[in-house]
Structure 1
Amino acid sequence: MLMPSIFGEDLFDDWMRVPVERETNRGYRTTELMKTDIKDVDGSYELSMDLPGFHKEDVKIQLKDGYLNIQASRTENKDEKDNHGKYVHRERYTGQCSRSFYVGKELEHEDIHAKYDNGVLVVTFPKEVKKKVPEEKKFISIEG
């Protein structure tokens, strides 16, 4: 079935994508947030996540019950006033997004390393964690 269009664009494009792809005031679509690549690098995994528009302070990483939880939240206020101090334009934006990855219950906080640079979060952690075997107490026998 053909949909009505004006100037080559489907009239229902915006309506159909709202829950999935919503454009933010910075021009990013929500499907562009938190795009993640995971690479196998020399016995470790490297998780690279796009977080455009966020600052390092906006990002929280937590390890809980074997899940690596990454959350980013941001609040922004834009005020534009005329010469008399009256609002000509005023916007407020609050947004939050999160993702979780199962990494295994053997992983400890010390095993995970994170770096945030230029809108990209890079998290590295080992593929397999060497289980910490409790030290067996050995005694030296005394002769005589």
Structure 2
Amino acid sequence: MSQISRYNPMDELFRGFFVKPMDLPSNVPPQQIKMDVKEQEGAYLVHAEMPGAKKEDIHVEIEGNQVSISSEVKQEKEVKEGERVLRSERYYGQVSRSFQLAHDIDESKASASFNNGVLELTLPKKAASNGKKLTIN
């Protein structure tokens, strides 16, 4: 006996809709800069994790008490078996982070270093000016 089934166009529409999406690889870097900010007596110490970034691609800008860190990240990974490429992954992107501190920063004394994917900033506080008292005539 032959089996007859009714054609439903909605079956075609939703075919593959409930299939589990492909998992992203675990080596794709996060889209944000994770950091620690510590306040010392005369300066702020900032550690910013920037995996996959190169020293020449990192930019730090200081304006008053505002600090901005940005970087362009490029990662490529290709897994081969003989001449066949089994998997090829790449990531290109830009990450940035801005934050404000309680005191203005002395830009002339600020320093930065980059080791093992961690940017370390030493941001000395500007000497507080006492202001000027005006005498009224």
Is TM-score (shorter-chain normalized) higher than 0.5?
A: yes
Q: CA deviation at 1:65?
A: 5.9
d(CA) in 1 for partners of 2:25, 2:51: 11
d(CA) in 2 for partners of 1:44, 1:76: 34
CA deviations over 1:55-99 (Å, ceiling 9, x no partner): 212211112464211012112334456656x65433331022111
Q: RMSD of aligned C-alpha atoms? A: 3.4
Alignment correspondent of 1:107? 105
Alignment correspondent of 1:51? 50
Larger Rg: 2
d(CA) in 1 for partners of 2:70, 2:105: 19
Q: CA deviation at 1:49?
A: 1.1
Structure 1's unaligned 5+ residue stretches are: 1-14, 16-21, 132-144
The number of residue pairs the alignment matches comes to 109
Shift in CA distance, 79/35, structure 1 to aligned 2, threshold 3 Å: closer
Q: Tell me if the contact between 2:106 and 2:125 (Cα under 8 Å) persists in the aligned partners.
A: no
Alignment correspondent of 2:59? 60
Q: CA deviation at 1:100?
A: 0.6
Is the strand fraction higher in 1 or 2?
2
Identity %: 28
Give me the TM-score of the superposition, normalised by structure 2.
0.59
Structure 2's unaligned 5+ residue stretches are: 1-20, 130-137
